[in-house]
Amino acid sequence: MSKKIEIFDSTLRDGAQGSGISFSLDDKIKITLELDELGVDYIEAGNPGSNQKDREFFEKINTMTLKNSKLVAFGSTRRKNSEAKVDVNVNSLLSANTPAITIFGKSWDYHVTDVLNTTLEENLNMISDTISYLISKDKEVIFDAEHFFDGYKNNPEYAIKSLEAAHNAGAKALVLCDTNGGAFPDEITEITEKVKGLFDTSVGIHCHNDGGMAVANSISAVQAGADHVQGTFLGIGERCGNANLSTIIANLQLKRGYGCIPAENMENLTTTARYIAEISNIALDHSMPYVGHNAFAHKGGMHIDGVMKARSSFEHIDPEAVGNDRKFIMSEVSGKNTIITTINKIDSSLTKDSPETKEILENLKLMENEGYQFEGAEASFELMIRKHLGMYKPFFKLDYYKIIEEENQGDKNCSASALIKVIVSGREEMTAAEGNGPVNAIDKAIRKALGIFYENLKDFHLTDFKVRVLDGANTAAKVRVLIESTDGDEFWSTIGVSTNIIEASVNALVDSIEYKLIKDKEQPKES
C-alpha cells in the first residue's frame, strides 16, 4: 500500500495574500466545496481573528457537511507576556468551530528578538501555552514553524527547541516553513531528515516560490520523510507564490507512488484547477505542468509524428490521467499529421493524403503569411476547415454594427456604445449596449441580441483579449487580435486580422460565438 501524504491546501488563506487575489464569501464557499470534492485532507480557510469576511465564512460553512476534508482555522501564538486563555485572537480561533487549527510561531531567533521584541524563552512559552490551551479544547493543532529553514541555518539549536515546545504541548504535526522561499532542495533534504530523526510525530513542509523551487523543495522534503505537504492549488500566494499543489499531487502520486488524494479523483485534477482559476478570476498559466492548456500541446511536426506513433516519445504521462487532453497546435511547421487530427474531428473519411488535406495545409500557410496565428486560435482553425469542406452553416449573421465612443464622466465603465443587428434564420434583432471600450460594448450587444435565440450563451464570456501590431508601428498597421473564451467548462481561442482593430476584434468575437454554438449544436428557439 502506498504511503499516505497529507495534502493541506491554503488557497483561501495563504493564496488570498497573492497580488490581485480577492475572494468574496461566495468564492470561498465554492472553492472549499471543490477542494473537498477533490479529496484534499485539510482546507485552511482563513483567520477569523483578522477580518469579518472570514468570520462569516466559518459561520456559513459550518452549516454544510464536507465529505473528505477537515476545515482549518489559522492564527498566531498568543501575545507575549500574556496567557492563551485570555488572548482575543486565540479564542477567535475556537469560535470558528473547526476540527483543526493551525498555529504559526517563530523558530528563527532573529525574528524573536528583532520582530517580536521578546526573549527566546518567552517565545517558547508562547508556542507551548497556545497549543496546550487549544488541545484542552479538543482541537487538533498543526504547528507552522515560521522561517524554520532560515532559523535552522542561523541557530539550529533554537529552531529545534521551537519544534520541541510544540511537540511537547501536543501538536499533531510539525510543519517546517521556508517562509522566505530561498532554500535549495539539498538544504531541504538534509534539514528535514534531521528533524524527522528527532521526532516521532508527523513532519510537514510549507514552501514559498521565491527561488522558483517550491515544488522541488516540497518533493525533496517528502523524500526525506515529510508526510504532510502544504501549498496552494495553483501556486498563488504572496510575492512569487506558494508551492503549487496541483503539480505536487500529480508528481507524488503518479511518479512516486504516494497516496495524496483518492486515486479515482486524479482525473479531476485539471477541471479542479481550471474551476479554481475561474472562481479566483485569474488566467491559468497555459504552461502549468499537468493542468495547463499547453501541458500536452505539440507543435513541431517531428514531435507530433512521434506522439502519434508512440505516445511516450514526447509525453511523460497519459494526459487523461489528470483529466487533460493532448493538443496538436496548428502552424506552418506542424505538417499533415497535425491537420488531419483536426480534420478528422469534422470529417473522419479524409486522410493525410487526401487532396483536401493538402489544400487546407496550403491555405493555412497562406493565412499565417497574412498574419494569422492558428497555434493560439484552434477554434478559428476548425471553422476554417469547416468552411473549406463545405461543412459550415452559420448560426447567425452580424448584419450591421456601429460604434460610438464618448467621454462619460459619470460612469468610467461606459466609455463606448455599440448598435448592432443580427439575423438568425431570417429573423432580425437589433439592440444596443454600453461597455468599457468599443470591443466590450459590441461583445455585450451581440450576446444580448443572440441571447434571445440561444440560451446556452448565458454562460459564455471572454477570459482574455490580446492585440499585436504585425507590420510596423504606425496607425495604418495590420493588427492581430486573439480572444480566449469560456462557457465555464471549456476554453477556446479565436483570431481576427485586419488593419482595423475593431474589425479584427469583431471577427474574432464572431468566430468565438460560432464555435460555441457549433460545439453545443443548439438550434434557435421558436418565437
Per-residue pLDDT tens over the stretch 314-346 = 789 999 999 998 776 665 555 566 678 788 888
Query: Do 151 and 243 fall within a single domain?
Result: yes
Single out the residue of 335, 356, 355 nearest to residue 346, CA to CA. Answer: 356
Question: Which grid coordinates belong to 440?
Answer: 466590450
Count of C-beta atoms within a 10 Å radius of residue 327: 19
**Of 257-271, 407-421, 435-449, highest mean pLDDT:** 257-271
Predicted pLDDT at 330: 61
pLDDT at 523 over 90: no
Highest averaged pLDDT of the listed ranges 207-221, 324-338, 504-518: 207-221
Instruction: Using DSSP, state whether 42 is helix, strand or coil.
Output: strand
* 440 and 332 part of one domain: no
Q: Is residue 286 part of a domain?
A: no
Please check whether residue 266 lies inside any domain of the structure: no
Please indicate, yes or no, if residue 514 is contained in any of the structural domains: yes
pLDDT (mean) for 282-306: 80
Q: How confident is the model at residue 197 (pLDDT cuts 50, 70, 90)?
A: very high
Query: Are residues 457 and 491 both part of a single domain?
Result: yes
Residue 526 lies in a domain: no
Lowest mean pLDDT segment, chosen from 189-193, 245-249, 462-466, 475-479: 475-479
Say if residue 224 is in the same domain as residue 343: no
Quote the CA–CA distance of 488 and 18 in Å, as a whole number: 23
Task: Identify whether residues 230 and 150 lie together within a single domain.
Answer: yes
Residue identified by cell 481561442 is 493
- Based on the fold, state whether residues 238 and 127 are members of the same structural domain: yes
Residue 226: C-alpha distances to residues 4, 232, 250, 252, 492 (Å)? 10, 17, 17, 12, 40
In a domain, 268, yes or no: no
| 409/378 same-domain check | no
Domain that includes residue 194, residue range: 6-261
Assigned domain for 287 exists: no
What 3-state DSSP class applies to 477? coil
C-alpha cell of 387?
468552411
pLDDT tier, 370 (very low <50, low <70, confident <90, very high otherwise): confident
- What is d(CA 453, CA 527) in angstroms, rounded to the nearest whole number? 9
> What's residue 411's pLDDT?
56
Q: How many distinct structural domains can be found in the chain?
A: 3
Residue-level pLDDT at 297: 79
Q: Which of 47, 95, 94, 43 has its CA nearest to residue 66?
A: 43
Amino acid at 396: F
DSSP 253: I
